Amino acid sequence: LSLSQQPRHIRTLQTLSTTPKMSQGSPKAPVVAEAHEVDTYHPPKKMFAKHPSKPHLSGLEEYQKLYKESITQPDKFWGRLARELLTWHRDFQTVRSGSLVNGDVAWFLEGEINASYNCVDRHAFADPNRVAIIYEADEPTDGRSVTYGELLREVSRVAHVLKAMGVRKGDTVAIYLPMIPEAVVALMACARIGAIHSVVFAGFSADSLRDRVLDARCKVVITTDEGKRGGKLIGTKKIVDEALKQCPEVKHVLVYKRTGADIPMTPGRDLWWHEEVQKYPNYIPPEPMNSEDPLFLLYTSGSTGKPKGVMHTTGGYLVGAAATGKYVFDIHPGDRYFCGGDVGWITGHTYVVYAPLLLGVTTVVFEGTPAYPNFSRYWDIIEKHGVTQFYVAPTALRLLKRAGDQFVKGDFNKHLRVLGSVGEPIAAEVWKWYFEVVGKEEAQVVDTYWQTETGSHVIAPLAGVTPTKPGSASLPFFGIEPAIIDPVSGEEIHGNDVEGVLAFKQPWPSMARTVWGAHKRYMETYLNVYKGYYFTGDGAGRDHEGFYWIRGRVDDVVNVSGHRLSTAEIEAALIEHPIIAEAAVVGVADELTGQAVNAFVSIKEGHEASDALRKEFILQVRRSIGPFAAPKAVYIVPDLPKTRSGKIMRRILRKVLAGEEDQLGDVTTLSDPSVVGRIIDVVREAR
Ligand code: WT7
């Protein structure tokens, strides 16, 4: 076996063959690789020259030793880490209980802890003037910094406000905020009083917000008058007002004044943040929480139309966030860390807010986009603040790579040691561009694989320690025991150089404990698919050296620009349109966004297909879910390919879009096989 050989793809599995393909080009020998290990990149030497001290681990051997301990003696390993990384109100006695089979996993039992105390107080006491947040506003000149001392005071005030609004321990609070420091304050204020935060990405529509507020039974919503992103205004308060027309349980809306827009305030319900905080003292004691008390809910898409409220608990989640932040990003005191993710998604929760604050470093909160005012914005921010770690999704990198290397300018590399990638597979060309053009071969690229449900990184290199291969998320994090399973037989495939679906064999501290109000769905989605395992929903390969290559989702989830979308949810949005009879949505490979949404719809009698109608259908999805879910193409077809029992065969639609009409497979189960030809005609005509 050649050491540079990449693992093969599964061609036999329909679901896997439609996912984005990794680059198959023969790898060229990179400068930093040793001769016998082509395509393997070792942590670049220059990264160590910039280091404030040295990485937390001495090298791959120490990782292997600790990894082994984390798998064979998890209680010892995690007990030690939990005490080392966090400050507990009351120590735990039982590190771990429950099992994947029974769906009753619990960590750090008897322990009591408060998330905001760990993220804010302990650093504010030690060093109140240390910068906690660098706010990079949409306009480059409008930003400011918030110290740990200031953060503690503002978090305390807002915690008082929430209490005055009637929020009690265990209540849920919806947060519909853009990327401003107040988003961090809001999360911390909830955690401080034991309220469960449920952030809804501020790009979601009023209907989506309403559904999430209702499902979580939120009593309070926190928002702004407006948001500002890429020079454009977003009417956040207006969307909240619309959503709340159907949310009778919401008693109050707390509104932070971001732009000063003239907005209606509902008397008795809506209150201004700046007015309320003036009423209360600058300190409130943190509520000691049981390790297993919920910290937050975050809604994510699954195979069915209804989004799932993924529930994370306090102790385990914090341990996962702090441990991965420390080891994967090699975070050290004094670091200035910049994650470009939005707090509306899990990346923003764990790696804009929790991990950097738990470790007491400075986190950049960026309100804008990588393209505003121009394509140099990220590099300008990195230079301006001497950023040490940068973390972003491949979709942004593809955009910037395409914009041209002339934008990657400035003396921004001085302190930059780590370049993270997250959310989707990163193609080898993009990885190399990131390493060579952005990082100047002086920073290590870490491709981090994880999910909303895993809470923190599960497969990722440790910066300064793990050798990497472009396109591979490399090796499991501590405590993660991956298994490659044959989806046909359901059996685990042992050994190296294998492909299948990815599962985990052991519980880990930051895994989601349930789906809010739907534990049965949690069991069916994650723990009952392969008994004794946590099922990720992704296809993956393990190569001859034990490195993992994530292939993409094997279920009806599409990944557009790192946004996770459910095809069923988009179909449900389309069917709400009065003219649409039936809809089928599939993901197709897209150069810029990774995957793109394509919709096939049949329309009701008496209507004619037209461009205007197609536009209207796209608008329907924008309105119902949010702009980021809008289909890139809508095909109006006479009928959808259905089996005799009425099941839509999306596989056929995917094949037609891929131009693989000759590989449709078995179509004999279709109730009317002639529809395929008519669909092919529509797609050809549109192109
Ligand atoms: C899905 C989870 C985890 C934060 C952002 C997305 C895909 C995530 C990678 C990666 C290949 C990746 C998977 C996963 N994914 N990271 N490094 N390489 N694929 O969180 O919205 O819960 O989506 O994103 O398909 O299942 P999410």
ipTM: 0.99
Ligand 1 centroid to Cα of residue 506, in Å, is 20
Ligand 1 centroid to Cα of residue 650, in Å, is 23
Output the pLDDT for position 5. 34
Place of tokens 């003292």: 281
Residue 498: count other Cβ atoms within 10 Å of its Cβ.
17
Output the pLDDT for position 670. 86
The secondary element (H helix, E strand) that includes residue 257 is: none
Nearest CA to ligand 1 atom 20: 451
Nearest CA to ligand 1 atom 14: 451
DSSP 209-249: HHHHHHHHT-SEEEEES-EEETTEEE-HHHHHHHHHTT-TT
Output the pLDDT for position 647. 82
Nearest CA to ligand 1 atom 18: 425
The pTM of this model reads 0.90
Ligand 1 centroid to Cα of residue 455, in Å, is 11
Nearest CA to ligand 1 atom 3: 451
The answer to whether the beta carbons of residues 16 and 554 sit under 8 Å apart is yes
Beta strand pairing call for 220-224 and 196-199: unpaired
Output the pLDDT for position 17. 31
**CA-CA distance, 205 to 199, in Å (whole number)?**
14
Q: What is the mean pLDDT of each run of 10 residues along the chain (687 residues)?
A: 30 29 33 46 96 97 98 98 98 98 98 99 98 98 98 98 98 98 99 98 96 97 98 97 98 98 98 98 98 98 85 98 98 98 97 98 98 98 98 95 95 97 93 97 98 98 98 98 95 97 98 98 97 97 96 90 90 94 93 94 94 96 94 96 84 92 83 92 92
The amino acid at residue 75 is D
Question: Quick one: CA dihedral 459, 463, 468, 471, positive or negative?
Answer: positive
Distance of CA 207 to the CA centre of its chain: 22
Ligand 1 centroid to Cα of residue 262, in Å, is 39
- Closest by CA to 148, choosing from 167, 121, 169, is 121
By the 10 Å C-beta count (0-12 exposed, 13-18 middle, 19+ buried), 406 is classed as: exposed
Ligand 1 centroid to Cα of residue 452, in Å, is 8
Q: Tell me the backbone φ, ψ of residue 601, rounded to 5 degrees.
A: -130, 150
Residue 564 CA: nearest ligand 1 atom is 21
**CA-CA distance, 612 to 24, in Å (whole number)?**
40
The answer to whether the beta carbons of residues 19 and 658 sit under 8 Å apart is no
Q: Helices 206-216 & 611-624, crossing angle to 10 degrees? A: 30
Residue 452 CA: nearest ligand 1 atom is 22
Ligand 1 centroid to Cα of residue 281, in Å, is 41
Distance of CA 20 to the CA centre of its chain: 18
DSSP 541-566: EE-TTS-EEEEEESSSEEEETTEEEE
Residue 536 CA: nearest ligand 1 atom is 26
Q: List Cα–Cα distances, 283 to 124, 129, 159, 166, 226, in angstroms.
A: 12, 17, 9, 18, 29
**Number of residues that this document lists for the chain:** 687
**CA-CA distance, 512 to 310, in Å (whole number)?**
6
Ligand 1 centroid to Cα of residue 454, in Å, is 10
**CA-CA distance, 93 to 220, in Å (whole number)?**
35
Q: List Cα–Cα distances, 572 to 113, 244, 567, 579, 666, in angstroms.
A: 41, 21, 9, 13, 27
Ligand 1 centroid to Cα of residue 423, in Å, is 4
Residue 552 CA: nearest ligand 1 atom is 25
Nearest CA to ligand 1 atom 6: 423
Output the pLDDT for position 644. 79
Distance of CA 356 to the CA centre of its chain: 16
Pocket of ligand 1 (CB under 6 A): 300, 346-347, 422-425, 447-452, 473, 536-538, 550, 552-553, 559, 562, 564
Which of 349, 555, 559 for a ligand 1 pocket mutation test, highest count of atoms within 8 Å of Cβ? Answer: 559
Ligand 1 centroid to Cα of residue 391, in Å, is 14
Pairs from 652-657 (Cβ < 8 Å, separation ≥ 24): 652/676, 652/679, 653/584, 653/586, 653/598, 653/600, 653/679, 654/18, 654/586, 654/588, 656/680, 656/683, 657/586, 657/588, 657/598, 657/683
Output the pLDDT for position 571. 93
Q: List Cα–Cα distances, 508 to 330, 357, 394, 514, in angstroms.
A: 20, 21, 27, 14
